[in-house]
Each structure stands twice: as structure tokens, then as C-alpha cells.
Amino acid sequence: MRSIMVLNAKGGSGKSTIATNLASYYADEGYRVMLVDFDPQHSSLDWLAVRPAGMPGIIGHDASEGGFRSPRNADYIIYDTPAGLRGKELSSMLRRAQSVIVPILPSPIDMRAATPFIRQILDNGRVSRKETRVALVANRCRENTNVYHQLEDYLRKVRKAPFISVLRETQNYNHAAEQGLGIFELPPYRVQRDLELWQPVLDWLGSRRSQPVKRR
């Protein structure tokens, strides 16, 4: 079983977007997928509620009231999380996942907030022992903007966590989300560029690099 979490201290960085897209991607691949929403705003569960009955199914779980225990019968568990996690809450969240994706927006405010957050994550015991693996993704990027280049420079310099992809700003995510779909389920000609940008994320998640290092 693979457990994947999307995490950032900031709201609006694309956590729910990435969580729901990952869930639909793995469901389309034929896996049994559970989408666990720790955010009281329930964006992922709202998305799931409008997912068409004919699409590959995803099991939703509301974990915002606490008391969630990992099931054993899913191939993929995708965790969506609330903004503002820190301290003990953050460490107990990190314990649940093998792989953590941190989406970061190209905005001065988001980048400033990301610095202490990434440090907290990388200082976490599980993360430094590589029992939970972390990767960084730039989201909602527009090429040829200064702030995007600043974000890229910044993420490249983070040691101990790979910077794996740059997802672009596009209405495709909104079009998909309003129908309960992932971008992988939109007409391929519309999302070709986005699928290319997602590939490194899927490659990382499919590789040993995103999985716990087994200790002897």
C-alpha cells in the first residue's frame, strides 16, 4: 500500500487540487484508492461528491474530526490536509505518509511562508531518517514571470528535498474540478502540456526515492 500526503502551511497552494488529481490518476489506473480529507473545509470530499458515477470510483473518508486509522485494504491512500499545521499536529500528520508533496506558489507571501515550513518538515525525525520522503512542487506557475524564476531558484537551493516539477497555471484544473474529474480525465489535446508537467511527479511517486528507506 502506498500512502501519499499533500502538505503546506499555506491555504490556496494547491493541496486539494493535487490530492484529487492524484486520486483520480490512480483510480483510472485501476487501483483501489482512498481519499482521506483532514481539512474541515472538505474540498476533496466536495470534489468527490460531484464525481460522475461512471468514472473509476474513489473511496472518500472525512478525517477532519480525528480518529482516522489507516485501512489495510487500499492500494493508494491520498491525504489532503488543512493549512496551518505545525508542531505536534504536523509530526503526527507526517507519521501517516510514506511520501509527502509540498506545493508552493510563485508569490512572495507563499515563498516566505514556505521557508520555516519546509525547515520544520525537514527537521522532523521521520523525514531526516527517510522514513517519510518529501518532494517540492511549484504550482500555478506562469513561465517568463520574475516571481516564477525566483521560486525556481529558491526551490532548487533547498537541500534534502528534491524539487520535482513545475505545474502551470491553467483553467484546466478548475474545469476538471467542477466536474469531479482530474485533468487526466479531460480530453488529451487540452491537457497535453499539463500531463507532461505531471509526469515527473508520477515518476517520483513510482520510484524508490519517494518510499521509506528500510532500516536494518
Distance of CA 163 to the CA centre of its chain: 13
Is residue 58 within 8 Å of 33, Cβ to Cβ?
yes
Q: Which contacts (CB < 8 Å, 24+ apart) does range 187-190 have?
A: none
SS3 content of the chain, % helix, strand, coil (to 5): 45, 20, 40
What whole-number distance in Å separates Cα of residue 119 and Cα of residue 113? 11
Q: Is 15 in the site for Mg ion (CB under 5 A)?
A: yes
User: Which part of the chain contacts ligand ADP (CB under 6 A), choosing from 61-69, 148-156, 167-175, 179-187?
Assistant: 167-175
Stretch that binds ligand ADP, among 12-20, 87-95, 113-121, 128-136 (CB under 6 A): 12-20
CB of 73 to ligand ADP, least distance (A): 26
- Subset of residues 61 to 80 that bind ligand ADP, contact rule: CB under 6 A: none
201: left (phi over 0), alpha (psi -120 to 50) or beta: alpha
169 binds, among Mg ion, ligand ADP, none (CB under 5 to 8 A by kind): ligand ADP
- In the list ligand ADP, Mg ion, none, the entry touching 99 (Cβ below 5 to 8 angstroms by class) is none
- Based on the shown chain and the rule CB under 6 A, indicate whether residue 198 belongs to the binding site for ligand ADP: no
Cell of 169: 497555471
Q: Is residue 93 involved in binding ligand ADP (CB under 6 A)? A: no
Q: Which stretch binds ligand ADP (CB under 6 A): 70-78, 121-129, 147-155, 170-178?
A: 170-178
37, 50, 71, 102 from 111: Cα distances, Å: 25, 33, 35, 12
51 binds ligand ADP (CB under 6 A): no
For position 43 contacting Mg ion by CB under 5 A, the verdict is: yes
For the record, the C-alpha cell of 172 comes out as 484546466
Burial (CB count within 10 angstroms: exposed 0-12, middle 13-18, buried 19+), residue 192: exposed
Quick check: 8 binds Mg ion (CB under 5 A)?
no
| Position 16 contacts ligand ADP (CB under 6 A) | yes
Choosing from 4, 14, 78, 148, the residue that interacts with ligand ADP (CB under 6 A) is 14
Return residues touching ligand ADP (CB under 6 A): 11-17, 43, 139-140, 167, 169-170, 173-174, 177
